[in-house]
Amino acid sequence: MLNRRVLEDRTYEDLMEEALMQIPRYSSEWTNFNQSDPGITILENLSAFELLQQAYINKVPDEVKSKLLKMAGFEALPGKSARVLLGAEHAEEDIVIPANQRFLVGDVSFETNRQIEMNSHRLTAVYGCKEGELLDASILLEREIPVAISVFGQKPSVGDSIYLVMDGLPEEDELVCYIELKSAYHRTLLEDISKNRFARIRWQCYTEAGFTDIRCRDYTGGLLESGEIRFTLPKESMSVCSELPESGYVIRGLLERAEYDIAPKVSGITGFLFEAWQKETQSVCYTYPGQQKISVFCDLLEQGYYHIYCMEKPGGSYYRYQILKEGQEGQGRVCRQKRYDYGMYEFSFPSEVSNSDRKKLPNGIKLVAYSEMLMRRYYLDTVYGYDDQIIMLPITNIVPESFSVIAERFDEQGEAIYDFIKPGRKEEGALCYELFETEGRIKIIDAGDFIEARLYLCSSAVTKGEEGNIGAGKVFTPVGYESGIQFFNPGPGTGGRYKEQLEDVRKRFVNDVNRPSVLVTAADYEAVIKEVPGLLIHKVKAVFDNAKTQVTIAVKPYSEQEFPRLSENYRKIIEGYLEKRRLLSTKIILTGPVYLPVNIQGMIYVKRHYYDCREQIEEAVVQFLDYRMTERQFGEVLRFNELYQKIERLECVQYIHEISMIPQYADMAAMSGDDIIPTDNCLCYPGRILLEIRTADR
């Protein structure tokens, strides 16, 4: 049902025609195709039955399909906001970035999730160290200068190191850096890059006792691919290091494993970064412990639509408090507001209120702020208690983790009480609802004790899904104030998506069903090896020997070497990956590539008044013969007529007098006429090219 073709567009006549055409395949004695034949009558009934059944199958509702996919382990992936790391240039003094501060890239909005305190300190120098010799790589800190530096040299070894020098320590306890690596090849995704078998770096900081290990989360896998590194700094014990050409606070990365398939080339390092998420907050809810004063730094407060709610006893509901501005008076459930600067507010409670049980509550106070657009539409509907009540929301493409509603009821004294409820809550008596974030609606699953409660929107934010996965190096403009600071993202935005649709879930299911879990054919082996996590696989050729029940596989990795080999590290990783998937009776032989030089000789006449004719012809020959970095596969036939035509089509060539191609080693290839047939693990490349170039007469 989940993996069946839709046949509603096929008529009864189509089904009958197909059935009649297949009769001769199964019986040569059945020659009467008239309607009076009993066999034809049976076919007519079966065709009609199939048409009816297929119509019913195609009418299965989406809810049933979704449940069937869930039983198979496939659920729709929720929507997510894209995330970027932002750096700041030209920050001459310390700055405070409020929670939910918006930044714009065109019409795409990004926001901070929390208040960020940044100082004006920065990375000032970068050094690589190999065998005790320092390499000044500080140019990597300049964003506008395109460079690529092998900080560990062309052949990294254990003990090589990289130094990051800072002129001060960050305000936050965690230092976030982004390291950009330059590579022409795409590495297969590894779920946990830190568990790679190629590289490992021990990160340390300089203290009075020398270099001391620090905790960090290294998403580059030891400079295996571009990514962020998060250092947890023991700021109280760090000291200025004077052992390098430039003094400062120093973080050192020491190579503990150096089995790189390709030596890392660093093209940029950016430090003192903070996170921003692609979303546009329409309303926000802040939670504070019960206390006499709370301070808030939020731009959304400037729109003037916000409420204060307080819990007065453990486990109870909240009461809404009246907010008194300067000069206003009030009694009972009140709090006073004081504005210090743009977005900076303080709310204080009378002593008789703040001395209540609320002081003991970790989530005693909630502040909810709305945008002007949402404040006009923040009332949603009343909970009536019938099954699957649908309530439409004023926004679509909602960030699921940001969403909640406020339910208004009345206590025994007739006072309004409020509960803050997130989707999926399933406690006894609780209001349970499902959020459909893409469509912008909620469905009440269980009303619980909230029948006749009025629902209001609480916190919410909208996202643009994949649009947030922007490229690196964009300029981010802060909203609400002007500044000489320039914000930018050294790495691309990642992770943004809308909630997966049912058809996309079904396609994932079908692809998973069709993906070989047990390797049977040569094509299975070739497809699976190209997907081995963490490797750079360029070419694969698998050949089965049915007599010996064995498969021989030639593998060529991407490499900067002229003649790449299959390293022992690659061999172990591939063998371990195949071992879990092969048939027990099948023997696997893994080999690297062998390289066959092909010699060319001949005489070619070229046109008069053409320059660089030899260079053009030899370049065309080299491109044709070289299997190493092109898409030509192991054992692919090298056809003479294709070479002949490639040369003949050159603008400078008048005609080919004679030409031949010969494999240098007879045991690595066979000849079929003028064509060369390499062995199954062989890649050709240009050998000796001996061409006599003559100018054609008029």
Q: Which CATH architecture has domain 122-271?
A: Sandwich (2.60)
CB 496 within 8 A of CB 463: yes
Q: How far apart are CA 458 and CA 461, in angstroms?
A: 10
Q: How far apart are CA 238 and CA 236, in angstroms?
A: 6
H-helix or E-strand spanning residue 38: helix 38-58
Positive/negative CA dihedral, 328, 334, 338, 343:
negative
SS3 state at 387: coil
Q: What is the pLDDT of residue 180?
A: 96
SS3 state at 149: strand
CB 99 within 8 A of CB 115: yes
Q: Which of 92, 175, 180, 116 is nearest to 142 (CA)?
A: 180
H-helix or E-strand spanning residue 339: strand 334-341
The ranges assigned to domains in the chain are: 12-60, 122-271, 282-462, 517-590, 594-695
Q: How is residue 473 written in tokens?
A: 């190096």
Q: What is the pLDDT of residue 118?
A: 85
The helix-helix angle for 640-648 and 613-625 (nearest 10°) equals 150
Q: Which CATH architecture has domain 517-590?
A: 2-Layer Sandwich (3.30)
Beta bridge partners of 693: 604
Q: What is the pLDDT of residue 173?
A: 84
CB 284 within 8 A of CB 100: yes
Task: Report the relative pairing of strands 675-678 and 293-297 from DSSP bridges.
Answer: unpaired
pTM for this one? 0.83
Residue the block writes with tokens 């596969």: 633
CB 434 within 8 A of CB 445: yes
SS3 state at 332: coil
CB 199 within 8 A of CB 239: no
Kindly write down the DSSP assignment for every residue of 363-376, as one continuous string: T-EEEEEE-HHHHT
Residue the block writes with tokens 């504005």: 339
Angle at the Cα of 49 from the Cα atoms of 48 and 54, rounded to 5 degrees: 100
Within the chain, how many helices (H) and strands (E) appear? 10, 42
H-helix or E-strand spanning residue 390: strand 389-392
Task: Render pLDDT for 77-133 as a digit per residue (tens, 0 to 9).
Answer: 888 999 999 999 888 888 888 888 999 999 999 999 888 888 888 999 999 999 889
Residues of the chain where predicted confidence (pLDDT) is lower than 70: 1-9, 56-58, 351-360, 697-698
Task: Report the relative pairing of strands 318-324 and 334-341 from DSSP bridges.
Answer: parallel
Q: What is the pLDDT of residue 7?
A: 47
CB 193 within 8 A of CB 257: no
Q: Which residues of 41-75 are buried (b: 16+ CB within 10 A; e: fewer)?
A: eebeeebeeebeebeeeeeeeeeebbeebeeeebe
Q: How far apart are CA 500 and CA 75, in angstroms?
A: 9
Q: Which of 305, 366, 370, 302 is nearest to 335 (CA)?
A: 366
CB 158 within 8 A of CB 258: yes
